[in-house]
């Protein structure tokens, strides 16, 4: 694929839809949905479409342990619970 075609803007679509259609990993590390995970084409949106993830898989993506992901999850759930009670 030439650079001209690769960088052109395609109307009525999204970057993650185009990566999925072309089965091409995203290289735009500045994107807020970018993550280093080849199986999800480096895209959190595509990864989320694949369904539920286990804590071990999430930890591998971010380079932390399953236990650390569990701790983060508990912290987030507590914060969400605190917001509900305000």
* pLDDT by residue, tens only, the chain of 86 residues: 444 455 565 777 888 888 888 889 989 899 999 988 888 999 999 988 888 889 998 898 889 999 999 999 999 999 999 887 76
Q: Record the tokens describing residue 71, joined without a space.
A: 């701790």
pLDDT given for residue 5 in this prediction:
54
Per the CB < 8 A criterion, the answer to whether 43 and 16 are in contact is: yes
Distances (CA, A) of 44 to 33, 39, 64, 84: 5, 11, 17, 27
First to last CA, the chain: 54
Residue ranges per structural domain of the chain: 1-50, 52-86
């Amino acid at each position: 694929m030439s650079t001209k075609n690769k960088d052109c803007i395609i109307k009525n679509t999204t970057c993650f839809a185009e990566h999925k259609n072309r089965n091409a990993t995203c290289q735009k590390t500045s994107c807020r949905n970018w993550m280093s995970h080849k199986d999800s084409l480096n895209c959190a949106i595509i990864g989320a479409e694949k369904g539920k993830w286990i804590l071990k898989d999430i930890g591998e993506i971010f380079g932390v342990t399953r236990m650390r992901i569990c701790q983060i999850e508990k912290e987030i759930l507590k914060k969400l619970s605190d917001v509900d009670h305000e």
